[in-house]
Amino acid sequence: MPSPTPLLTLASVSPRRRALLGQIGVAHLVSAADIDETVRPGEAAGDYVVRMACAKARAVRERGGELPVLAADTAVVIDGMILGKPAGRAEGIAMLGRLAGRTHRVLTAVALATTAGIAFRVSASEVRLRPVTPAECAAYWESGEPRDKAGGYAIQGAGALFIEHLSGSYSGVMGLPLYETGLLLAAAGIRW
């Protein structure tokens, strides 16, 4: 059986984002966006994720191709600070330790670039982690799971063991909010 015709290009190599698109039946191509993801001085987290998602969509769209481009960006925010992907073991363990026993926000922006321009939506969720011991933080780091995740944990993996409460979008915390994605796709006439 031939594979379905791609409806869009995903500006991400994230297996989680690919799986979420597959979950809603959106056949797609993958083309990673290579952009500078540095937070600007004084930039609010919501502005940052929107800027990143739009920049990723724009970068891939400008390479050419007929398909619309979908991009997303996620930030974990605590104490007004954006926690990105941990740079190494010490930072990853420190991130999880900082989040442990506290509530933080997860913001994910999703952007869709078409011939008509770029549209975007933002998902905001609150996540509370249970207290986590230093030994648990170290063992979790050694599992390899948190190394490429914003905030240093994965809700869809073993990191779920630390999540006491979630208010918002599970798929948004994973990195692609399906409600907001569905709205963007429907507005662009893309069936899911």
Asked if residues 26 and 112 have their Cβ atoms less than 8 Å apart, the reply is no
What pLDDT digit, counting tens, does each position of 17-35 carry? 999 999 999 999 999 998 9
Helices 15-23, 178-187: crossing angle, 10 deg rounding: 60
pLDDT at 84: 87
pLDDT band at 64 (very low <50, low <70, confident <90, very high): confident
Rounded to two decimals, the pTM is 0.93
Catalytic residue flag (residue 73)? yes
Helices (H), 34-177: 45-61, 89-99, 134-142, 170-174
34, 36, 47, 73: the catalytic one is 73
> Residue 60 corresponds to which amino acid?
V
Q: What is the pLDDT of residues 103-127, one digit of tens each?
A: 999 999 999 999 999 999 999 999 9
Pick the more confident residue, 64 or 89.
89
What pLDDT digit, counting tens, does each position of 31-51 carry? 999 899 999 999 999 999 999
pLDDT of residue 12: 94
Q: What is the pLDDT of the chain when averaged over all its residues?
A: 95
- Residue ranges per structural domain of the chain: 8-187
Q: Which CATH code, of 3.40.50.300, 3.30.565.10, 3.40.50.150, 3.90.950.10, is assigned to 8-187?
A: 3.90.950.10
Per residue in 140-168, pLDDT tens?
999 999 998 989 999 999 999 999 999 99
Question: Do 169 and 125 contact (CB within 8 A), yes or no?
Answer: yes
Residue linked to tokens 């249970």:
130
pLDDT band at 1 (very low <50, low <70, confident <90, very high): very low
